[in-house]
Structure 1
Amino acid sequence: MALSEFSLQYVPQKAVKGEALADFLAQHPSPYGFRGSEIDIGLVQTCDNYWTMHFDGSSIATSAGVGIVIQSLDHYRWCFSLKLDFNCTNNQAEYEAFIIGLHVLHDLRVARVLVLGDSELVINQLNGIFRCMSCTLAPYHMVAIYLAKSFERITFDHILRVRNIDADELTQLTSGA
């Protein structure tokens, strides 16, 4: 009231580049009330409350092996490289790696997992995009789905082989590929 004699006019401050979105979100909180720290914005996804598992399997004429890399919430990493003592296909080796990794995560009592693999067939079968039609893969698929249901939340993502280097190198150590 004391300043009314000075004919002041309010002009909102222009947004500083890079702060406009943050200011808008601060002034307009979401009515949906996000829980946890899982936020998906365009191409960026944060998964702070997920353990991650990279898996890979390989089979050649003389041997087969699997590689698994598990990372905890605290960014500790465990690497597993196992030689399979039976003949199998590449896809069977991929499923073996996935199932062994899930057993390890289950024994650690992990609730939320982000599974990353470079086998498009296995990941798409687990996501339900592809149907499992192979009689040799069907038992693996059934066990994998059964184990996946024991987690509170599990997500399967296909990644390129160049983003799965650690698991791939562990696999090559044991399979000789």
Structure 2
Amino acid sequence: MTGQMTNLAIEFDIEFTSTAHPVGLGGVGVHIVTESGEELNYEIKLSFKDTNNEAEYEALLEGLTVARSLGATEVEKRADSQVVVSQVTGRFATKGEKLKKYLQQVGKERDLFKYFHIQQISRGGNNKADHLAKSASGWEETRLSNYTIV
């Protein structure tokens, strides 16, 4: 090794979901699998009341932030939110000023990656992220191994 850093393209497969708690604050779960197979889990407690779609956007943004902080240049995202995935891909129009602002933020974050792809998966396809979100919001006490609470 010559002491010179090499740029590495790190691909992340990120599942995200959220939970809007009916009587309290929501939570976000982010499950990341790196190209080498390492799994990272994040629980994020939201400090504001939100709608489900707002919480889904928060989860998406948190996942992108974590991926970028870990050096990712290529990101594959999977989510069970048809609305958010369809708005990000341009298949659905975005209504409401708050969701439009979220979509703009996602666009700015997305542009920081060399490659970005998002796809919708079934609700059962992101069990780990779902458990993390429920735990962060106080719905469940299940903890996955190797998790971080934010």
Fold match by TM threshold 0.5: yes
Which residue of structure 2 lines up, in the alignment, with residue 54 of structure 1? 15
Q: Relative contact order (alpha carbons < 8 A, sep ≥ 6): 1 or 2 greater?
A: 2
Determine the C-alpha separation between the residues in 2 that align with 1:100 and 1:128.
21
TM-score, normalising length from structure 2?
0.82
Which amino acid counterpart does residue 72 of structure 2 have in structure 1? Answer: V
1:95 is matched with which residue?
57
Deviations 1:131-167 (A, max 9, x none): 2112121111110111001110110000001111000
Q: CA deviation at 1:51?
A: 1.6
Give the unaligned 5+ runs of structure 1: 1-48
Structure 2, unpaired ranges of 5+? 1-9, 140-150
In the alignment, the residues of structure 2 paired with residue 174 and residue 110 of structure 1 have an alpha-carbon distance, to the nearest angstrom, of 25
- Runs (4+) off by over 2 Å: none
Any idea what the Cα deviations from partners look like across 1:9-38, whole Å, max 9, x if unmatched?
xxxxxxxxxxxxxxxxxxxxxxxxxxxxxx
Of 92, 97, 101, which aligns to 1:130?
92
Amino acid in the other structure paired with 2:14 = M
What amino acid does structure 2 have at the position aligned with 1:54?
A: E
Q: Distance in 2 between matches of 1:108 and 1:169?
A: 23
What does residue 164 of structure 1 align with? 126
SS of the residue aligned with 1:164?
helix
Match of 2:107 in 1: 145
Question: Normalised by the size of structure 1, how large is the TM-score?
Answer: 0.70
The Cα of 1:172 is off from its aligned counterpart by: 0.6
Q: CA RMSD in A?
A: 1.1
> Partners of 1:111 and 1:58 in 2: how far apart?
28
> In structure 1, how many angstroms separate the alpha carbons of the residues matched to 2:105 and 2:78?
18
